[in-house]
A = this chain, B = another copy of it.
Amino acid sequence: MSQPTHVCHHSETYDEPRGEMVPIDLSSAPVHPPNAKAHANGVNGHNKLNGVNGTNGANGHAAPPMKSPAKQFNPYAPRYADFLSNVSNFNIIESTLREGEQFANAFFDTETKIKIAKALDAFGVEYIELTSPAASEQSRADCEAICKLGLRAKILTHIRCHMDDARIAVETGVDGVDVVIGTSSFLREFSHGKDMAYITRTAIEVIEFVKSKGIEVRFSSEDSFRSDLVDLLSIYQTVDKIGVNRVGIADTVGCANPRQVYDLVRTLRGVVSCDIEIHLHNDTGCAIANAFCALEAGATHIDTSVLGIGERVGITPLGGLIACLYAANPEYVKAKYNLPALRELENLVAEAVEVSVPFCNPITGYCAFTHKAGIHAKAILNNPSTYEILKPEDFGLTRYVSIGHRLTGWNAVKSRVEQLQLKLTDDQIKDVTAKIKELADVRTQSMEDVDTLLRVYHSGVESGELELGQRHILDRLLEKHRSQSQERVSAAA
**Interface residues of A, Cβ cutoff 8 Å to B:** 7, 9-10, 12, 17, 21, 76, 101-105, 107, 131, 135-139, 160, 182, 186-187, 189-192, 223, 225-226, 252-255, 257-259, 262, 282-286, 288-290, 292-293, 296, 307-309, 311-314, 317, 320-321, 323-324, 326-328, 354-356, 358-362, 365-376, 378-379, 382-383, 385-390, 400, 402, 405-407, 437-438, 440-444
Can you list 14 residue pairs at the A/B interface with Cβ under 8 Å? A135-B407, A136-B437, A191-B386, A257-B328, A259-B296, A283-B368, A284-B326, A285-B321, A285-B323, A312-B365, A313-B362, A356-B356, A356-B358, A358-B358
Cβ 8 A contact of A370, one of B104, B189, B257, B320: B104
A412 to chain B, nearest CB (A): 13
- B residues less than 8 Å from A379 (CB atoms): 182, 186-187, 190-191
B residues near A400, Cβ cutoff 8 Å: 104
Q: Specify which chain B residues have a CB less than 8 angstroms from the CB of A366 in the assembled complex.
A: 104
Cβ-defined partner of A7 (8 Å) among B104, B137, B296, B402: B104
- With CB as the reference atom, state the residue of chain B lying closest to A399: B312
Minimal Cβ-Cβ distance residue in B for A223: B386
Chain B residues whose CB sits within 8 angstroms of the CB of A135 once the complex forms: 374, 406-407, 437
Given A102-B373, A402-B104; A312-B441 close (CB under 8 Å): no
Q: How far is the CA of A405 from the CA of B367 in the complex (A)?
A: 35
Question: How far, in whole Å, are A386 and B440 apart by their CA atoms in the complex?
Answer: 52
- Which residue in B292, B311, B406 is a CB contact (below 8 Å) of A376? B311
Which chain B residue lies CB-closest to A251? B389
Complex: A488 Cα to B288 Cα, angstroms: 54
Q: A255-B327, A375-B191 are in contact. Are A383 and B186 (CB under 8 A)?
A: yes
* Docked pose: A223 CA to B442 CA in angstroms: 31
Cα A372 to Cα B292 with chains together (Å) = 27
User: Complex: how many Å from CA A320 to CA B326?
Assistant: 23
The closest CB in chain B to the CB of A434 belongs to: B136
Closest 6 CB pairs of A and B: A289-B289, A358-B358, A285-B320, A258-B258, A104-B367, A138-B441
Interface centre among A7, A293, A317 (most CB of B within 10 A): A293
Q: Given the complex, which residues of B lie within 8 Å of A160, measured CB to CB?
A: 375
Do the beta carbons of A355 and B283 come within 8 Å of each other?
A: no
Known: A107-B444, A259-B258. A327 touches B284 (CB 8 A): yes
Nearest CB on B from A383, distance (A)? 4
Residues of B within 8 A of A374 (CB): 135
Given contacts A17-B104, A138-B406, A186-B385, 14 further A-B contacts (CB under 8 A): A9-B105, A103-B372, A105-B367, A131-B407, A137-B438, A190-B379, A190-B383, A192-B375, A255-B389, A257-B292, A284-B320, A285-B324, A312-B371, A358-B358
Chain B residue with the shortest CB-CB distance to A385? B186
| Closest beta carbon of chain B to A297's beta carbon, Å | 10
Contact of A285 among B317, B359, B371 (CB under 8 A): B317
User: Pick the contact of A283 from B292, B327, B328, B437 — CB < 8 Å?
Assistant: B327
User: Can you name the residue of chain B whose Cβ is closest to the Cβ of A288?
Assistant: B285
Partner of A372, one of B102, B308, B317, B360: B102
- Whether B283 contacts A389 by the Cβ 8 Å rule is yes
* Chain B, residue nearest A75 (CB): B226
